């Protein structure tokens, strides 16, 4: 059987690499993005098993239209990948409230809308899985990335809750937690942690991890959270065993940039 995958924010960056990999492996791929023209260009590049469409993930009515359209084209929805996201960096108080609210609309409401709207399609599918793009910023709140980090904590919590709730429907809900990835999102990022930690991951690294999680059939062996990259894995493991004051101290040091604390 040919499975299908619906990807948000799929016109570029991590989403586009996920789309390319799944298409290469024989999936029917939905490439949905607020930048429909770029999404259509990628779909044309990939060929007949790719379909593009417009989707503002913060709008639940657009989700309903997009998923109904995709279901009609693909036959069923097997894998939902909530990838769409934005980032504002810099001091919390110097970032406009409108920017903070926009991250909430896309990074949290987008995932909520996607999971809620996709549920009836996933419930009736022969095989179903949800993979959310979380972040290493959901391990401990990151200075100068406050609202983005808060968004990813919300995604982490929603993933954990639904992974338990939807087990009775044989739907696993998982997330991946990469550190900084070489995409346009991090260009000119105003946060000391990116200079102190560095950028080692590529969109391909994240896409490969997402694909591996999508294909594993043994539900019992699948972790709910999967850090991507050695640095993320180390941070994730250390945070679970070290005391809170040490986690806070580590993050103070990572965010230090000629500041006194």
C-beta of residue 132 within 8 angstroms of C-beta of residue 173: yes
Active-site entry in 3, 140, 148, 236: 148
C-beta of residue 132 within 8 angstroms of C-beta of residue 228: no
C-beta of residue 36 within 8 angstroms of C-beta of residue 59: no
Q: What distance in Å separates the CA atoms of residue 61 and residue 57, rounded to the nearest whole number?
A: 9
Place of tokens 């791929």: 29
- Extract the runs of DSSP E, i.e. beta strands, from 105-256: 128-133, 171-178, 225-228
148 is known as an active-site residue:
yes
Paired tokens of 42: 């990628």
CA dihedral in degrees (144, 150, 152, 158; nearest 10)? Answer: 180
Which active-site residues does the annotation give?
A: 148
């Amino acid at each position: 059987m040919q499975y299908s995958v619906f990807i948000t924010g799929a016109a570029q960056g991590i989403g586009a690499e996920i789309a390319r990999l799944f298409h290469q492996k024989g999936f029917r791929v939905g490439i949905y993005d607020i930048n429909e023209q770029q999404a259509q260009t990628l779909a044309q590049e990939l060929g007949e098993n790719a379909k593009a469409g417009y989707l503002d993930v913060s709008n639940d009515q657009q989700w309903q239209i997009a998923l109904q359209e995709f279901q009609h084209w693909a036959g069923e929805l097997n894998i939902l990948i909530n990838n769409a996201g934005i980032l504002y960096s810099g001091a919390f108080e110097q970032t406009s409230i409108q920017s903070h609210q926009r991250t909430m609309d896309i990074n949290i409401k987008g995932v909520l809308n996607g999971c809620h709207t996709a549920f009836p399609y996933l419930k009736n599918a022969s095989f179903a899985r949800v993979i959310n793009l979380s972040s290493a910023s959901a391990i401990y709140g990151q200075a100068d990335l406050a609202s983005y980090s808060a968004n990813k904590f919300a995604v982490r919590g929603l993933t954990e809750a639904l992974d338990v709730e939807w087990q009775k429907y044989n739907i696993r809900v998982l997330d991946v937690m990469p550190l900084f990835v070489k995409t346009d999102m991090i260009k000119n990022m105003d946060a000391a942690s990116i200079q102190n930690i560095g950028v080692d991951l590529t969109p391909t690294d994240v896409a490969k991890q997402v694909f591996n999680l999508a294909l594993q059939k043994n539900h019992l062996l699948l972790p709910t959270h999967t850090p991507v990259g050695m640095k993320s894995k180390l941070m994730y493991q250390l945070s679970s065993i070290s005391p809170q004051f040490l986690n806070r101290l580590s993050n103070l040091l990572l965010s230090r940039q000629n500041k006194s604390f």
